[in-house]
Amino acid sequence: MKSSSSSSPISLIIRTAIGSRLLVLTLTVIWRSIVNPYDTSASINPTCLTSTTTAAAAAVRFPRIAGAIENGVVWDSVYFVRIAQCGYEYEQTYAFLPLLPFCIWLLSQTVCQPLIPLVGHRAVLVLSGYFLSNILFVFAALFLYRLSVIVLKDPEASLRASILFCFNPASIFTTSLHNLIRWW
């Protein structure tokens, strides 16, 4: 694994991290289309208590894609998306810190805003959350490599550890939105 330049391990880790996330997301979509999910909290989505926009939901061009995206919202991600969409409405939402919902909302209102007419606001919030989660995973893989080089003083072992990190058994948790509570 000798590298010809100092950026080669970094680019390998970035490519491996992105590839592993795409693989996990693809396998997740395939699995969820074959097997009915255990957690059905994705289908529970009442309107916001202070909602004034009802026509926007009817104008979605691809409702089936929006439904498929929104079905990925399970466990804690239900709360993160709900807070990003509606704010802190109920007492149980106060258990979730505001940085992640704010970042999801900000990304959905800036970079991902052109997608809102296509799949709807809630699906764009979910996509924003998945994007943030997976970008943070890539940064975590890079951070692991750099920290391992400092601690182990062995770039080869650090590179192997970072690549193994990209394919660890907990990949579904580091890819999905609900695990970001540990990151933020």
Cβ neighbours, 10 Å, residue 168 = 10
| CA distance between the termini of the chain | 33
Tell me 113's DSSP state: G
Average pLDDT over the chain reads: 82
Whether this model's pTM surpasses 0.85: no
**Token output for 71:** 């079905």
Instruction: For residue 116, give the amino acid letter.
Output: I
Q: How confident is the model at residue 36 (pLDDT cuts 50, 70, 90)?
A: confident
The domain limits of the chain are: 8-35+60-182
105-128 CB burial, b ≥16 within 10 A, e <16: bebbeeebeebbeebbbbbbbbbb
pLDDT: which is higher, 25 or 14: 14
**Token output for 27:** 């396998």
pLDDT at 37: 65
Asked if residues 86 and 50 have their Cβ atoms less than 8 Å apart, the reply is yes
pLDDT: which is higher, 35 or 130: 130
In 3-state terms the chain splits into helix, strand, coil percentages (rounded to 5) of 70, 0, 30
Alpha-carbon gap, residue 64 to 44, rounded angstroms: 17
Q: How confident is the model at residue 137 (pLDDT cuts 50, 70, 90)?
A: very high
| Closest C-alpha among 114, 104, 157, 109 to residue 135 | 104
Condensed to tens digits (0 to 9), the pLDDT of residues 160-170 reads: 999 999 998 88
Q: Which of 79-83, 143-147, 170-174 is most confident?
A: 143-147
Q: Lowest-pLDDT range, 105-109, 119-123, 140-144, 160-164? A: 119-123
pLDDT at 181: 42
Asked whether residue 51 carries a pLDDT value surpassing 90, the answer given is no
Cβ neighbours, 10 Å, residue 44 = 9
Asked whether residue 57 carries a pLDDT value surpassing 70, the answer given is no
Q: How confident is the model at residue 25 (pLDDT cuts 50, 70, 90)?
A: confident
